[in-house]
Amino acid sequence: MAAERSVTEILDAAVGVREAARSASAGTTGLDAVLAALSEVMEYEHASLARWDPLRRCHTTLAGSYPDDATAYIETRLHRDPVFPVLRSPARGGLWLGDVPGRLLEASPGFREVLRPLGIEDGVAQCLFAVDGRYVGMLNVSTRRPRCAPDPARAVVTLLSEALAAAVASHAGPRSEEAAAAGPGAATRPGGLSPRELQVLAELTAGRTNREIAERLYVTPRTVGTHIEHILAKLDLPNRAAAAARAAAWGIGCSR
């Protein structure tokens, strides 16, 4: 079993996951093959890879073995779970069930209504970020057996996150989704702004801070700041208030 393997064997299995993820990114294999390879790193009862849809603001499962009610929770409610802001931090390597404070677990509908009835005692939720800082989706892995410590699989899952993010992003079509959110086609986007810059510009009309915008778009505050710098430069505007005014003049806004 995976928990009894040597560190070398687990690392060898991780190479297999990385290769499967690369194949999935290239479109030569599906993401089911990635999860199958991951089972060689750590045994699990259920696992899934889901992408984040920034337009619909929900997750879509690309591959997985969770029951239908658990899958529905991941797709439509997980991003509003009290645990989600903790695990979504780009600086975090993944949130293992055993590391979640008991008080937070009891406040989590996902744990009470989904994991506990399945008899889950361990596992990890790993948020996945593209190289440009965009939140693209997540890996969820659940097991009914507590894992032994020290557990090399913890470090391995973190090391694999970049490859997994690339695989999920390749199936997500984020560019087309952002273009749809922006409205006009690339040739007619106002001010020559990118789809993501238009999203940030829309958020500015609500007077939100960089951190608030980052939380809504699932990127880092630094990434938001960079987008705002590009917006001001492209539109030749002095500050974010002027950018918000320009957006309002163009009829661009966002939901509160």
pLDDT digits (tens, 9 = 90+) for 185-201: 444 457 778 778 888 99
Letter for the amino acid at 93? G
Q: Identify whether the C-beta of residue 9 lies closer than 8 Å to the C-beta of residue 151.
A: no
Residues 6+ apart with CB under 8 A from 30: 24, 63
Residue 41: its pLDDT value, please?
Answer: 92
Measured CA to CA, the distance from residue 58 to residue 108 in angstroms comes to 18
pTM higher than the cut 0.85 = no
* Paired strand residues for 135: 129
Residue 194: its pLDDT value, please?
Answer: 78
Nearest by Cα to 66 from 54, 75, 79, 77 = 75
Which parts of the chain register pLDDT below 50?
1-3, 173-188
Nearest by Cα to 118 from 84, 79, 139, 145 = 145
Q: Which token pair is 235?
A: 């539109």
Residue 189: its pLDDT value, please?
Answer: 59
Residue 175: its pLDDT value, please?
Answer: 40
Nearest by Cα to 127 from 209, 30, 56, 219 = 219
Q: Identify whether the C-beta of residue 240 lies closer than 8 Å to the C-beta of residue 204.
A: yes
